């Protein structure tokens, strides 16, 4: 870390020294039009102005850096404190340049060897030039730190956004388990009096299903293979619970270990179909889960809308949409036509990496 800081200081010094050289050269060329004067870079006058230019640049820049960093520790840069920083920097530069040029052009002119026809005119010209260059340096430096502050704020906002998304994601997942367990325990209570063997099998499947939920509760994504294994137990419980009123069929023609989906997506879609439709032994609900090439799954059911006491909030579908949005730009499609309701969810490649969402723990 120390070496990195040292390198940064060296690079900063070299950059500023390069700026000093470029500015000094431009000033000399613009002020001195005689070719012989331009070529005289090693005389005492040129050396004096080069050294003072270097000194004023470095002092102004470093002092301005210090003021900006001090102000940023107290508050963010804004127009008011930027004007304050500008004033403080110029309050150092202007007296310093006035003193240096006054001493050099009047009492020490012969000692230093400065050649000029009119010291008063030269002093005024040098002073205003130093003020102009110093002002430019301060404004550029303030602009740089303002842009840097903007980038830092944007990065902080992105981090906050990720934390909020992660929090929402965790909240969305907590909606899943309690509803499933409540319904399963109700079914089990009935089975214990009707068919103890079936109840025992139901308990085994319930334990397997809930183990899956608990083991993957912290996972944002699971392999399609894991989800389908869980779905086998879940389908068994749904068919036992609804007794020939619900039929769930799967036809997956992709290699399930190569694709991922958000945890418990299929369960939520099946429960969504059960919640919003009427069904009976005479008019059963048929739910199919099919793969669409290697890009998506289609979850489809025949439609016999249930009249709900309260207007549906569509939280289940919104939950799935939001969870997918964390990982892909592919849309979750919902369509209703010809007496069928269908949801198409993307299959995610097994190599997918989490987006810039913070790991949920």
CATH code, domain with 292: 3.30.565.10
Is 182 in the same domain as 127? Answer: no
> For residue 187, what pLDDT is reported?
81
Whether 236 is in a domain gets the answer yes
Is 19 in the same domain as 45? Answer: yes
> For residue 38, what pLDDT is reported?
46
146, 166, 186: which is the final residue of a domain? 166
What is the enclosing helix (H) or strand (E) of 171? helix 119-174
> For residue 207, what pLDDT is reported?
87
Whether 354 is in a domain gets the answer no
d(CA 298, CA 305): 19
Is 110 in the same domain as 87? Answer: yes
d(CA 258, CA 53): 66
Is 119 in the same domain as 32? Answer: yes
Whether 229 is in a domain gets the answer yes
Look up the domain containing 105 and give its range: 2-166
Q: What is the pLDDT along the chain (361 residues), one digit of tens a residue?
A: 567 667 777 888 788 888 888 877 777 776 664 445 444 556 788 888 888 888 888 888 899 999 988 888 877 788 888 899 999 999 999 999 999 989 988 888 888 878 778 888 888 988 998 898 889 889 988 888 888 888 888 887 777 666 666 555 555 555 555 666 777 777 888 788 788 888 888 888 888 887 887 777 667 788 999 999 999 988 888 888 888 899 999 999 998 888 999 888 898 898 889 888 999 999 999 999 999 988 999 999 999 888 766 555 566 788 788 878 878 888 899 999 889 999 999 999 877 744 433 333 3
Could you give the count of Cα atoms lying within 13 Å of 109 in the half-sphere of its Cβ?
Answer: 14
Is 202 in the same domain as 339? Answer: yes
| Pairing label, strands 246-251, 285-292 | parallel
Phi-psi region of 244 (alpha: psi -120 to 50; beta: other; left: phi over 0): left
Total structural domains in the chain?
2
CB 199 within 8 Å of CB 192:
yes
SS3 track for 189-215: HHHHHHCHHHHHHHHHHHHHHHHHHHH
Phi-psi region of 339 (alpha: psi -120 to 50; beta: other; left: phi over 0): left
Quote the distance between the C-alpha of residue 66 and its chain's center: 30
Is 161 in the same domain as 184? Answer: no
- Give me the phi and psi of 287, to 5 degrees please: -120, 125
Could you tell me the two tokens for 324? 């997918």
Phi-psi region of 264 (alpha: psi -120 to 50; beta: other; left: phi over 0): left
> For residue 319, what pLDDT is reported?
77
């Amino acid at each position: 870390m120390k070496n990195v800081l040292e390198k940064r200081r060296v690079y900063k010094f070299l950059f500023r020294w390069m700026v000093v050289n470029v500015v000094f050269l431009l000033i000399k060329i613009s002020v001195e039009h005689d070719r012989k004067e331009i070529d005289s870079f090693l005389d005492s006058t040129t050396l004096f102005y080069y050294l003072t230019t270097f000194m004023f640049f470095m002092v102004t820049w470093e002092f301005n850096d210090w003021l900006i960093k001090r102000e940023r520790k107290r508050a963010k840069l804004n127009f008011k404190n930027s004007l304050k920083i500008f004033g403080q920097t110029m309050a150092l530069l202007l007296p310093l340049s006035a003193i240096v040029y006054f001493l050099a052009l009047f009492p020490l002119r012969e000692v230093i060897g400065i050649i000029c026809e009119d010291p008063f005119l030269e002093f005024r010209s040098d002073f205003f030039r130093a003020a102009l260059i110093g002002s430019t340096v301060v404004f550029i430096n303030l602009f740089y730190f303002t842009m840097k502050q903007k980038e830092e704020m944007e990065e902080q906002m992105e981090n906050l956004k990720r934390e909020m998304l992660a929090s929402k994601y965790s909240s969305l997942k907590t909606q899943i388990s309690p509803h499933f367990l409540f319904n399963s325990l109700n079914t089990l209570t009935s089975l214990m009096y009707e068919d103890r063997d079936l109840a025992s099998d139901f308990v085994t499947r319930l334990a397997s299903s809930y183990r899956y939920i608990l083991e993957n509760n912290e996972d944002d994504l699971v392999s399609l293979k894991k989800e389908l294994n869980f779905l086998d137990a879940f389908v068994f419980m749904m068919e036992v619970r609804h007794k020939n009123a619900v039929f769930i069929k799967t036809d997956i023609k992709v290699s399930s270990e190569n694709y991922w989906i958000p945890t418990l997506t299929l369960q939520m879609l099946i429960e969504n179909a059960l919640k919003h439709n009427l069904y009976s032994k005479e008019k059963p609900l048929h739910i199919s889960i099919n793969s669409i090439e290697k890009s998506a799954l289609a979850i489809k059911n025949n439609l016999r809308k249930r009249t709900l006491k309260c207007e549906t909030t569509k939280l289940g579908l919104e939950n799935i949409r939001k969870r997918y949005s964390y990982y892909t730009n592919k849309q979750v499609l919902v369509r209703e036509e010809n007496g069928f309701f269908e949801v198409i969810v993307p299959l995610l490649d097994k190599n997918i990496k989490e987006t810039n969402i913070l790991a949920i723990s």
